[in-house]
A = this chain, B = another copy of it.
Amino acid sequence: MGAGASLDLVPGVLAGEIRAIARLLTRAEAGDDECRPALEAIFRHAGRAHVVGITGVPGSGKSTLVAKLVAEIRRTGRRVGIVAIDPSSPFSGGAILGDRIRMGDVAGDPGVYVRSMATHGSLGGLAHGTLDAVDILDAAGYDIVVIETVGVGQDEVEVARAAHTTVVVSAPGLGDDIQAIKAGILEIADIHVVSKSDQPGAERTLGDLKSMLAMGPSSVRSGDWQAPVLASCALSGEGVVGLLAAIDGHRAALDACGAMAARRADINARRLFLAGEGLLRDAMSRQQDGRVGELIALLDARVLGPHAAAKRLLADIRDADGG
């Protein structure tokens, strides 16, 4: 594949052509160096979409809720892209083939584009690749890009770091509310949803969340925004209209109070760090027999310390890539 192959896809992506989008997403997920210039070009055209992270523990009913939310977004005439990192998502691979019913009205709708990402079982899996996928859908003109993930602590934090608006879905009686709080949920959620509002214990979970929010710090990343606690019943569709209103309201509040600029800067700071980490990782894997091998040998011989060796490695990355 020539150096221009992925770059050639960029005009198609910007025009919203499904085939170009799909191909670039596949290459981005593979982490090919070859598509880096294309992704850089895509990044420069992205920045218009409202990026919404939706996370929740397994069993919270999040996946069904997301399906209903997507249908509601479509009802308002907006196009929506979904990056599904949760293997239980109705939008992820297996389900698309086997369980179209859960996708409901949006199956086959050209205004919905779904990409499921493999996490490769690693916690860092979310960061690398997901952000590129969000950019691609953003640049392709989707108005809202949803990052859907299953809550396992670190991943939730990563979603919040990548999104303008973070929705955390809880369910009554799951018994891990306390754990969720320990993982820092209160700080990362811009909107709380208690799903399965028809089930026993829903009122109590709603009340618990509200009192904890009253005691805890308000979302430092959203200005004066007070994270609402919404009830929903994904099966009946109750609360879905209110959820979309809250999502839109959060964006409007960020824009109004100037917090959106700070949040964009946070997201881009994270991107800068992850890109730097990616450069390091690439250098480590590519040069194991060359310069990196030499540095490791110097560490093995205890001639050099890790800090000094890392500085030399960074210098090499710069020189090798020509700035």
Tally of A interface residues using CB under 8 Å: 58
The chain B residue with its CB closest to the CB of A274 is B306
Interface flags, A306-323, vs B, CB<8A=1, else 0: 111111111101100101
With A280-B273, A309-B272, A311-B279 as given contacts, are A300 and B264 in contact (CB-CB < 8 Å)? Answer: yes
A278 CB within 8 Å of chain B: yes
Q: Whole-angstrom distance from the CB of A123 to the nearest CB of chain B?
A: 5
With A264-B300, A268-B296 as given contacts, are A318 and B311 in contact (CB-CB < 8 Å)? Answer: yes
Complex-state Cα separation, A311 to B320, whole angstroms: 11
Interface centre among A272, A295, A297, A300 (most CB of B within 10 A): A272
A315 interface neighbour in B274, B292, B309, B318, Cβ under 8 Å? B318
A111 CB within 8 Å of chain B: no
A99 CB within 8 Å of chain B: no
A276 CB within 8 Å of chain B: yes
A311 interface neighbour in B295, B306, B317, Cβ under 8 Å? B317
Helix, strand, loop or mixed for chain A's interface? helix
Interface centre among A123, A292, A305, A313 (most CB of B within 10 A): A305
Q: Which residues of B contact A265 (CB under 8 A)?
A: 296-297, 300
Q: Whole-angstrom distance from the CB of A182 to the nearest CB of chain B?
A: 8
A248 CB within 8 Å of chain B: no
Closest 10 CB pairs of A and B: A40-B305, A275-B310, A275-B306, A268-B299, A276-B310, A271-B306, A43-B305, A315-B318, A276-B280, A44-B302
A47 CB within 8 Å of chain B: yes
B276 x A314 contact (CB < 8 A): yes
B39 x A305 contact (CB < 8 A): yes
Q: Whole-angstrom distance from the CB of A260 to the nearest CB of chain B?
A: 11
The chain B residue with its CB closest to the CB of A42 is B305
A39 x B307 contact (CB < 8 A): yes
Q: Which residues of B contact A302 (CB under 8 A)?
A: 43-47
With A302-B46, A314-B314 as given contacts, are A277 and B280 in contact (CB-CB < 8 Å)? Answer: yes
Q: Which residues of B contact A308 (CB under 8 A)?
A: 40
A41 CB within 8 Å of chain B: yes
The chain B residue with its CB closest to the CB of A293 is B265
A3 CB within 8 Å of chain B: no
Q: Whole-angstrom distance from the CB of A306 to the nearest CB of chain B?
A: 4
Complex-state Cα separation, A314 to B312, whole angstroms: 11
Q: Whole-angstrom distance from the CB of A300 to the nearest CB of chain B?
A: 6
A210 CB within 8 Å of chain B: no
